[in-house]
Structure 1
Amino acid sequence: MSQRVYVCGVGMIPFAKPGTSASYDQMGASAARLALQDAGLTYASIQQAYAGYVYGDSTAGQKALYQVGMTGIPVVNVNNNCSTGSTALFLARQAVASGAADCVLVLGFEQMSPGALGSVFQDRPSPFDAFDAVTDKLVGMSQIPLALRYFGGAGLSHMQKFGTPLTSFAKIRAKASRHAANNPLALFRKVVSTEEVLDAPVIWPGVMTRLMACPPTCGAAAAVLVSEQFAQAHQLNRQVYIAGQAMTTDTPETFESDDMMQVVGYGMSQRAAAQVYAQTGIGPDALDVVELHDCFAHNELITYEALGLCAEGGAEKFIDDGDNTYGGRVVTNPSGGLLSKGHPLGATGLAQCYELTHQLRGTAEARQVRGAKIALQHNLGLGGACVVTMYRQS
């Protein structure tokens, strides 16, 4: 896979609270049109499409894309939990890099319901049975929703290992709000202080307040990937390309380590990042900007270490020194992240791609990271899958 893959177009619609958005197909079609418009292409140029969503019936991708065009091309529907959007991106990048296609559309959308995530099918084994059993053993807390138990338990594991204070998670949420204030596509743009995060309603005493968790939202985002030859022939934007990408799944360590950080994908993230650094010859010290999977402030903190942005056990100092924001070593989640945008599962990975593409183009306006040339994307799905993607400015 030697062909360079360019991101020549991106599109994203503002995320919305459940019950206030358009339907999934309308959102998806809107995001696809925006990406095509940004690329300067029509749907007739697209040779393959990959559509990511979690909560929806089969062929929902066709339902969305048929509103944009009906050209008979392959449309592949992708479902990989919270990493769905990036998994679709992974497949599309492979198609272009291998020469199977020269111009591919990647779309992610989600029409969510209010409240905590839950299982839809109650008449068959859950993909999370093994995860739940380990979580019951390690943290209990059966009275709170599972996602909160998973990630709150991972944060608690870090606190117990390294003495990390609750304040560190609150500082992450406050940072997210400052970044989101400059993002017109973020749902929550009100700046909150560390103290306000700590004073928010308590979900898990000593471990989590409500503001430390991202809410479910509805939304869509899309990208157009092309080969270098196609980009040259059609005089397309070649400012941003995918320099490296890796996707990982769980190993026995997830269930055998008796560590909630491993249960929520710390090892997957670590391995995916290591593969990307090896592919590109570029390490974490060279990164300018990162969009990572902050479904909870706790996951952002442990992901700093999994991606090598700081040493293991070094997250508290990394945060206190301001190395995760503007003026620091690497700006994390300049979009405001999932904590401020919300988390429409299928759209999240493409929304990250949208943000980083604009950062490397220098078109991120008030949230622009000065001189950004190298960007990293981290998208995690329990069950499990993790996709890490490195983008570079041409």
Structure 2
Amino acid sequence: MTQAVHVVGVGMIPFTKPGASEAYDVMGSRAAKLALDDARIDYALVQQAYVGYVFGDSTAGQAAIYGVGLSGIPVVNVNNNCATGSTALWLARQAVASGMVDCVLALGFEQMVPGPLKGVWADRPSPLGRFIDTLEAHQGFDPAVPRAAQFFGGAARDYIAEHGIAPSTFARISVKARQHAARNPLAVFRQTVTLDEVLASPSVFDPLTRLQCCPPTCGAAAAVVCSADFARRHGLDGRVRIAAQAMTTDGPSTFGSNDVRKLVGADMARAASAKVYAEAGIGPEDVDVVELHDCFTANELITYESLGLTPEGTAEQFILDGDNTYGGRVVTNPSGGLLSKGHPLGATGLAQCAELTWQLRGQAQQRQVEGARLALQHNLGLGGACVVTLYEKVGA
């Protein structure tokens, strides 16, 4: 038997450019306090904490949590690349669902530096070594070009090669992301851009231009999850329930398919979402709103199909028809996504959770998706991990 798990509190601080933020521990403490305030509970009721970050020293999670209180609870530090925040949430949900505890805090933060992502250690094998070797064998590798852009740009090239879409289709996703972020006071980039501006921005790795790549960002977000019984006993807002959740890692197709889309996690996303739909007894056509991992426009496009939001090979028409935004079939990344809201690695999964919780509560203000009852979250980390979470609105 597993207990139902509810998201009863969320918190997120405004995301900022590197150099403009507070220190990681201050950001983390602020986000955690916001989530506790939103839940209307005291920290003394929290029984465990899972804290995610990618670039930081060991026990940085404790440093942030200690700014909230010194209750002696277990604090588990989590690092799963860009899927770190949702991995912390996955662990928190499991702890509550198992019945071992009733109330858990999931927190994620990141204090980043300007420029593309880089490995930290030069004296040992990179955990992405096999990925880089596979990419190099397929399309070559240029050490002068940002590594992540070569992965996701390569995925775009493989999609174009199979389906013959216009490269400008990817750029349309950036236009949509900025339009959504303009309604989000917590997003780092809130000014809208035109398709011509996106295409005219400097090329990073063809077909991706700079405005099609998410920026390094600093920020923090958190969620309080608890059992239904705990929510009832303490009079908490239990309207948002985690209906299903799955984490997947890489399988043989990642390295054996000669397809960069699979190298960057398309099959992980497909497998995780299939598990979630099966567990919840729904299909992708039932989902009202989605926060997905748009670290590059290419990943948003291929993820539409991995999540089943549109059939294989139809993502271009899905975009051209406006089915990915308000008035279309399913609103994707109403927050502005990683492209415009920002991507502080450890915080991203929990920022997605916060956005979808606000959507299901009807608290998303100008971004509100009317009548939203089912919300899907997709968070991806190369190396690799993919977490897909389905939230549902329950009760009135």
TM-score (norm 1): 0.99
Displacement of 1:174 in angstroms is 0.2
Distance (whole Å) between structure 2 residues aligned to residue 168 and residue 282 of structure 1: 29
1:311-350 matched pairs, under 5 angstroms: 311-350=311-350
Distance (whole Å) between structure 1 residues aligned to residue 225 and residue 195 of structure 2: 39
Displacement of 1:141 in angstroms is 4.4
Q: Is the 8 A contact 2:2 2:99 kept in 1?
A: no
Distance (whole Å) between structure 2 residues aligned to residue 138 and residue 154 of structure 1: 11
Which residue does 1:282 correspond to in 2? Answer: 282
Which residue does 2:108 correspond to in 1? Answer: 108
| Residue 233 (structure 1) aligned with residue 233 (structure 2) | yes
Which residue does 2:378 correspond to in 1? Answer: 378
Distance (whole Å) between structure 2 residues aligned to residue 203 and residue 376 of structure 1: 30
Which residue does 1:73 correspond to in 2? Answer: 73
Q: Is the 8 A contact 1:83 1:349 kept in 2?
A: yes
Distance (whole Å) between structure 2 residues aligned to residue 150 and residue 204 of structure 1: 9
Which residue does 1:158 correspond to in 2? Answer: 159
Deviations 1:84-107 (A, max 9, x none): 000000000000001011000000
Equivalent residue of 1:349, what SS? Answer: helix
Which residue does 1:11 correspond to in 2? Answer: 11
Deviations 1:329-375 (A, max 9, x none): 00000000000011100000000000000000000000000100000
Equivalent residue of 1:196, what SS? Answer: helix
Which residue does 1:117 correspond to in 2? Answer: 117
Q: Is the 8 A contact 1:110 1:346 kept in 2?
A: yes
1:290-329 matched pairs, under 5 angstroms: 290-329=290-329
Output the amino acid matched with 1:44. A
The runs of 4+ residues in structure 1 deviating greater than 6 Å are: none
Distance (whole Å) between structure 2 residues aligned to residue 125 and residue 289 of structure 1: 40
Output the amino acid matched with 1:220. A
Equivalent residue of 1:51, what SS? Answer: strand
Instruction: Show structure 2 runs of 5+ residues with no match.
Output: none
Output the amino acid matched with 2:298. H
Distance (whole Å) between structure 1 residues aligned to residue 327 and residue 220 of structure 2: 31
Which residue does 1:187 correspond to in 2? Answer: 188
Distance (whole Å) between structure 1 residues aligned to residue 282 and residue 218 of structure 2: 35
Distance (whole Å) between structure 1 residues aligned to residue 33 and residue 204 of structure 2: 40
TM-score (norm 2): 0.98
Distance (whole Å) between structure 2 residues aligned to residue 166 and residue 262 of structure 1: 19
Output the amino acid matched with 2:197. E
Distance (whole Å) between structure 1 residues aligned to residue 165 and residue 249 of structure 2: 27
Q: Is the 8 A contact 1:139 1:149 kept in 2?
A: no
Deviations 1:298-331 (A, max 9, x none): 0000000000000111100000110000000000
Displacement of 1:2 in angstroms is 2.3
Distance (whole Å) between structure 1 residues aligned to residue 381 and residue 352 of structure 2: 14
Output the amino acid matched with 1:353. C
Q: % of aligned pairs identical? A: 64
Displacement of 1:208 in angstroms is 1.1
Deviations 1:246-275 (A, max 9, x none): 000000110010100010000000000000
Which residue does 1:38 correspond to in 2? Answer: 38
Output the amino acid matched with 1:120. V
Output the amino acid matched with 2:278. A
Distance (whole Å) between structure 1 residues aligned to residue 152 and residue 10 of structure 2: 30
Equivalent residue of 1:325, what SS? Answer: coil
How many residue pairs match? The answer is: 393
Equivalent residue of 1:105, what SS? Answer: strand
Distance (whole Å) between structure 1 residues aligned to residue 312 and residue 197 of structure 2: 28
Equivalent residue of 2:61, what SS? Answer: helix
Displacement of 1:162 in angstroms is 0.3
Output the amino acid matched with 2:166. P
Output the amino acid matched with 2:82. C
Which residue does 2:87 correspond to in 1? Answer: 87
Equivalent residue of 1:124, what SS? Answer: coil
Q: Is the 8 A contact 2:5 2:241 kept in 1?
A: yes
Displacement of 1:204 in angstroms is 2.4
Deviations 1:137-173 (A, max 9, x none): 1122413111000000001110111012111111100
Output the amino acid matched with 1:281. G
Distance (whole Å) between structure 2 residues aligned to residue 252 and residue 287 of structure 1: 29
Which residue does 1:138 correspond to in 2? Answer: 138
Output the amino acid matched with 1:181. A
Equivalent residue of 2:354, what SS? Answer: helix
| Residue 362 (structure 1) aligned with residue 341 (structure 2) | no
Q: How much is the aligned-residue C-alpha RMSD, in angstroms?
A: 0.7
Q: Is the 8 A contact 1:213 1:339 kept in 2?
A: yes
Distance (whole Å) between structure 1 residues aligned to residue 85 and residue 333 of structure 2: 17
Q: Is the 8 A contact 1:292 1:332 kept in 2?
A: yes
Q: Is the 8 A contact 1:52 1:107 kept in 2?
A: yes
Distance (whole Å) between structure 1 residues aligned to residue 197 and residue 138 of structure 2: 30
Deviations 1:194-219 (A, max 9, x none): 121111111224x1111000001000
1:41-60 matched pairs, under 5 angstroms: 41-60=41-60
Instruction: Show structure 1 runs of 5+ residues with no match.
Output: none
Deviations 1:101-148 (A, max 9, x none): 100000000000110001001111110110000111112241311100
Output the amino acid matched with 1:196. E
Equivalent residue of 1:241, what SS? Answer: strand
